């Protein structure tokens, strides 16, 4: 979770910095020619800024994906262990019931023709 918040913070800082720089340029007491030059340089830097942001987001997405995969693998392992324990417990209980039933039934067999 901290990784996700860190990525959002970095992205917010980059976007906020770009917006702040543009606002500062537009409100600065410079001539139009100077302001246009500065804006042009800022716009030229935007693709690199966007690429850095994209790389950062991709890295965080990969980390989250890996974390999700590990969590899924661990959950699947616990589920398999629980199923195996359930099967073993049901077999043990079936054997116990069979033994108990054998002890309760008389040792002689009942002739079905006597009914």
Band of the pLDDT at 113, cuts 50, 70, 90?
low
As a whole-number percent, the residues of the chain with pLDDT over 90 amount to 30
Using alpha carbons, select from 31, 9, 10, 35 the residue that is nearest to residue 21: 35
- Structure pTM? 0.44
Using alpha carbons, select from 65, 66, 61, 68 the residue that is nearest to residue 11: 61
CA distances from 56 to 2, 12, 48 (A): 14, 12, 12
pLDDT, tens only, 70-84:
999 999 999 999 999
Q: Mean per-residue pLDDT for 110-114?
A: 56
Name the token pair of 50.
């966007």
């Amino acid at each position: 979770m901290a990784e996700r918040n860190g990525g959002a913070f970095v992205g917010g800082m980059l976007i906020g910095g770009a917006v702040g720089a543009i606002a500062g340029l537009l409100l600065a007491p410079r001539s139009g020619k100077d302001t246009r030059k500065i804006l042009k340089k800022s716009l030229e830097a935007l693709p690199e800024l966007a690429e850095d942001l994209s790389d950062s987001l991709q890295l965080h997405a990969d980390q989250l994906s890996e974390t999700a995969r590990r969590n899924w693998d661990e959950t699947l392992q616990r589920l398999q262990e629980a199923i195996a324990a359930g099967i073993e417990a049901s077999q043990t209980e079936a054997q116990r019931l069979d033994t108990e039933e054998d002890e309760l039934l008389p040792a002689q067999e009942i002739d079905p023709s006597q009914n």
